[in-house]
Structure 1
Amino acid sequence: MKATLAKFEQATIFRFLVQWTIILIPLSILVGSLVAFFLWSLDYVTQQRYQHPWLLFLLPVGGVAIWLLYRYAGKNAAAGNNLLLEEIHEPGGGVPARMTPLVLGGTLLTHLLGGSAGREGTAVQMGGSVASLLLRWIKFDVQEKRIILTAGIAAGFGAVFGTPVAGAVFALEVLVVGHMKYDALVPALIAAVLANFTVAAWGVHHTAYAITTPVGEITAMFSSNAAAEWLLLGKTILAGMAFGLTAWVFANTMEAVKSYAAKWIRVPWLIPVTGGVVVIQLVYLFGTQDYLGLGVTGPHAGSVSIVNAFHSGGAGTWSWAIKLLFTVVTLGTGFKGGEVTPLFFIGATLGNTLAVATGSPVDLMAALGFIAVFAGATNTPIACTLMGVELFGGDHILHYTVACFTAYYFSGHSGIYSSQGIRGNKVGPSETEALQTIRDWQLRRRNE
């Protein structure tokens, strides 16, 4: 009898896998193709900005253009990633298909003119809107709708960074802080893998990172490898605390910029104009354009960038804070893109600074900051640990884990996604008291 039930169970699982693979193949190919086009276009507009620095002076005008697009054509698409999370929590009107061209055009214009923004938000929103379009063509129940939207997020995230495993887990982990449901895990993984393959098939490549410094080089002064490992682990914990606090500062500063801009600038289209003018002033204040755009690479070989942060002398002591300032002004005043790649920059350059201060391997600390500040800002430590393995290799997985989880705790219940659900408390007071405190905080965030 048990053997018969087992056969039926395996047959059900097989049918589930085949069904979702068939459903997700067209979704993943389309999302992967859109992401490939986006990455190619992003590289093109970035090169144009490098060649024509005067484009920066058009940033305020570009901000008005983006505002007009979303004001008259965007409707609820302006909610961005938060709209996707809300639709997964409580399926309603769906995600508009117009979100894809709007966020794509807005992001490319932001980068062309020098706004400090990322690319994750664009890819995730394209994935979500394509998934929602599929839901209009095929009838699904509520739970299946949630799974498909989650798979769309995974496809966009996994494809844009070349991290399909992290993309699948991120799509589940980002929904609710402290709780993860696994019913969408396999569809999310299928979508992320297929979308990533599609990007590669189009000949678009991701930036390669590596941790090359042998840890033994900095531990030769100790009498045993065990002492050296404990010392490095202690430094990782302290760095994780700094990464988490930085994530907290980023999330709350972003909310403050949005709130004060809306309060003090009564004419809505003047908000992006003001943001653009401030970014231009910051460029002249710091005397460099290194903090514009993505920041993966820079306009010249010696630029402060994510890639250079993995090497000694590749970042200044306060590079992370300067990039944070550029980014919260750009995104907080209505320009489009995403927060994640700037968070990579902030984390990698902060890691570089901490490595110099603590005598740690620069490339290891930069890698830890790269993933841990992101983990703290999005409350997704598991996905970010896996991202570390996919991007930098698995040799330092213990340090990835410690840094990401420490940052997750020290970032508190802040985050860059206001519609992210919260279940339970990270640490601290009793569960009932904590949940009420968290609900009050989340309600305030949504009402601002």
Structure 2
Amino acid sequence: MNDSNSPIDVFHSRFYFAYFALIALPVSLFTGSAVALFLISLDAVTETRWENPWLLYLLPLAGIGIWWLYHQFGKNSAGGNNLIIDEIHEPGGGVPLRMTPLVLLTTLVTHLFGGSAGREGTAVQMGGSLASRIGRWMKLDEEDTRVVLMMGIAGGFGAVFGTPIAGAVFALEVLAIGNNKLRDFKALLPCLLAAYLSDQVCRLWGATHTHYAIHFSEAFNWQLLGITIVAGAAFGFAGRLFSWAMHALKNMSGKIFVKTPWLTPFVGGCIVIALVFIAGTEDYIGLGVIAQHPAGISIVNAFKEGGVDQFSWLWKLVFTVVTLGMGFKGGEVTPLFFIGATLGNTIALYTGAPVDLLAALGFIAVFAGATNTPIACTLMGIELFGADNVVYFGVACLMAYFCSGHAGIYSSQRIHHPKFGRWK
């Protein structure tokens, strides 16, 4: 690749998209297959936990096991999503292939024993590590490796949620706040191709995605737009609270247990068990897309009037911050969906706005605020809920973005352009 006269370099320069289309095939095949394995396994461990509620009491020991695995074999793969983002910004040691089996196994363990976590982080890490290995096999240079890593992010995200367009944009937008670098946007088409193909491969393996329905579809309403603006601000503050609490707990627990780090997940597991007793329900552990019982608190039921409690969003926030902030593995995004959808349900209760629409707005907007990716989240809203309410989707995501501050769940995310005026 360094020889400017080599045939592959000539092909690369003249047929850029065809070049990355060929690379997208193995990236998508491996990423889509890994995500399908993950989703199918996640359903299986969730069913197992539902059938064996006593597994929750082993969560502290499971936490020690997760710590041991990363202590023995993890090395730099413990950096997770932030390692992938850092490698895209400044290619260096690469993303290790061991990240894939480690994050897959430990996320399944977290869910099996009752941790509150998601799946996006796992899918993105698998996609990034597999794409990095493919780049090494092909001996790509640094610039092409950056693109391939972004393709891995897009493939993992697009396949795990069934939203390839949002996945492609997310892979670019998540790198930096105000990202407008042309060298990143030239990766958009390769990322879109990787996300689409990964999603198709995932579906071919039989993995399924939850379908959400919004029945609200009316002409534009100024009053509803005003509610959307206020709700978007609330969603942004919720995303900001989640990010702040997550980073604060990680820092605090790291200082407290600096000499005995294995105690961090052990104590975290104990706290989760205590929270279950305090909340009086197990609906806030696990993934939270659907509940064990039809009337339970879940993302799906947040789209129904009276389907959740008024403080369900806060309970899920606390459960997830403790789980992920104290060493367990999994993603943050599905819990953010839960927090947003239930908070939207509560706002609808007090404003009289349509419950399903406000739940959908919260679903995407809290995520937009916590990750600073309003465009990707707006597109996700269209892919998941249809385009009828796209104006409300965009307004809610932008308000959440502007109200969430410059910090997000990804500490490696950089600031290219501040949200408001000057930023120090």
Q: TM-score interval w.r.t. the shorter chain? A: over 0.9
Could you list the runs of 5+ residues in structure 2 that have no partner in the other structure? 1-10
1:55-95 Cα deviation digits (max 9, x unpaired): 00000000000000000100000000000000000000000
SS for the counterpart of 1:92 is coil
Whole-Å separation in 1 of the counterparts to 2:144 and 2:32? 21
Which amino acid counterpart does residue 234 of structure 1 have in structure 2?
A: G
Matched, 1:253 2:256: no
CA distance in 2, matches of 1:94, 1:213: 46
The aligned runs of 1:174-189 (5 Å cut-off) are 174-180=174-180, 181-189=184-192
Q: What SS does the corresponding residue of 1:300 show, helix, strand or coil?
A: coil
Give the Cα–Cα distance (whole angstroms) in 1 for the partners of residues 81 and 90 of structure 2.
14
Inter-partner Cα distance in structure 2 for 1:334 and 1:235: 38
For residues 152-197 of structure 1, give each alpha carbon's deviation from its aligned partner in whole angstroms, at most 9, with x where no partner exists: 0000000000000000000000001111331110110010000000
Output the CA distance in 1 between the equivalents of 2:185 and 2:136.
25
Does the 8 A contact of 2:21 with 2:190 survive in 1? yes
The two structures have a TM-score, normalised by structure 2, of: 0.95
Deviation of 1:12 (Å): 8.7
The equivalent position to 2:197 in structure 1, one of 175, 194, 197, is 194
Task: Report the 3-state secondary structure (helix = DSSP H, G, I; strand = E; otherwise coil) of the residue aligned with 1:80.
Answer: helix
SS at match of 2:313: helix
Shift of residue 22, structure 1, vs aligned partner: 1.1
Q: Is the 8 A contact 2:364 2:380 kept in 1?
A: yes
- Displacement, 1:14? 7.9
Partners of 1:348 and 1:14 lie apart in 2 by 46
Deviation at 1:340, TM superposition (A): 0.2
Corresponding residue for residue 68 of structure 2: 68
Task: Please give the alpha-carbon distance, in whole angstroms, between the structure 2 residues aligned to 1:331 and 1:98.
Answer: 20
Cα distance in 2, alignment partners of residues 14 and 141 from structure 1: 17
Residues 46/14 of structure 1: CA separation in 2 closer, same or farther (3 Å cut):
farther
Distance 2:93 2:354 in 1: 50
Work out which of the residue numbers 224, 230, 239 in structure 2 matches 1:232: 224
**How many matched pairs?**
410
1:395 aligns with 2:388: yes
Deviations 1:338-392 (A, max 9, x none): 1000000000000000011100000000000000000000000000000000000
In the TM superposition, residue 17 of structure 1 has moved relative to its aligned partner by 2.2
Q: Does structure 1 conserve the Cα–Cα contact (< 8 Å) formed by 2:91 and 2:142? A: yes
User: d(CA) in 1 for partners of 2:254 and 2:125?
Assistant: 24
| CA-CA distance at 1:274 after TM superposition | 0.3
Task: Provide the secondary structure at the position in 1 that maps to 2:15.
Answer: helix
Which residue does 1:91 correspond to in 2? 91
Q: Does 1:294 align with 2:287?
A: yes
Q: 1:265 & 1:285 partners in 2: Cα distance?
A: 25
> Is 1:423 matched up with 2:404?
no
The code of the aligned residue for 2:291 comes to G
Q: Which residue of 2 aligns with 1:408?
A: 401
Alpha-carbon distance, 1:214 to partner = 4.2
Q: Assess if the C-alpha contact under 8 Å between 2:173 and 2:179 holds in 1.
A: yes
Q: Give matches, 1:39-50, under 5 Å.
A: 39-50=39-50
Residue matched to 1:16: 16
TM-score (norm 1): 0.90
Are residues 1:336 and 2:329 paired?
yes
Amino acid of the residue matched to residue 191 of structure 1?
Answer: A
User: What is residue 4 of structure 2 aligned with on the other side?
Assistant: none
Letter in 2 for 1:388: G
Question: 1:16 Cα deviation (Å)?
Answer: 2.0
Give the structure 1 partner of residue 3 of structure 2: none
Give the alignment partner of residue 368 of structure 2, picking from 366, 375, 381: 375
Q: Which residue of 256, 265, 276 corresponds with 2:257?
A: 265
Aligned to 1:208: 211
RMSD of equivalent CA atoms: 1.2
* CA–CA distance in structure 2, aligned partners of residues 260 and 179 of structure 1: 31
- The answer to whether structure 1 residue 140 and structure 2 residue 133 are counterparts is no
The corresponding residue for 2:107 is 107
Identity rate, percent: 60
Aligned counterparts of 2:118 and 2:249: Cα–Cα separation in 1: 18
Alignment partners' CA distance in 1, 2:313 and 2:272: 16
Aligned to 2:233: 241
- Whether the 8 Å CA contact 2:217–2:388 is kept in 1: the answer is no
SS in 1 for 2:253: helix
TM-superposed deviation, 1:265: 2.4
Counterpart residue type for residue 237 of structure 1: I
Compute the displacement of 1:425 (Å).
1.1
Q: Structure 1 CA distance, aligned partners of 2:92 and 2:383?
A: 35
Distance 1:331 1:247 in 2: 15
Q: Quick check: 1:324 aligned with 2:327?
A: no
Work out the CA distance in 2 between the residues paired with 1:19 and 1:136.
16
Give 1:13 deviation, angstroms: 8.9
**Residues 34, 397 of structure 1: alpha-carbon distance in 2 compared, 3 angstrom cutoff:** same
2:320 and 2:23 map into 1 onto residues whose CA distance is: 37
- Look at both structures and tell me which one has the larger radius of gyration over its CA atoms: 1
The separation in 2 between residues aligned to 1:214 and 1:392, in whole angstroms, is 11
Structure 2 distance, partners of 1:199, 1:265, is 40
Deviation at 1:203, TM superposition (A): 1.6
CA distance in 1, matches of 2:379, 2:342: 21
Q: Secondary structure at the match of 2:185?
A: coil
Whole-angstrom CA distance in 1 between matches of 2:139 and 2:322:
42
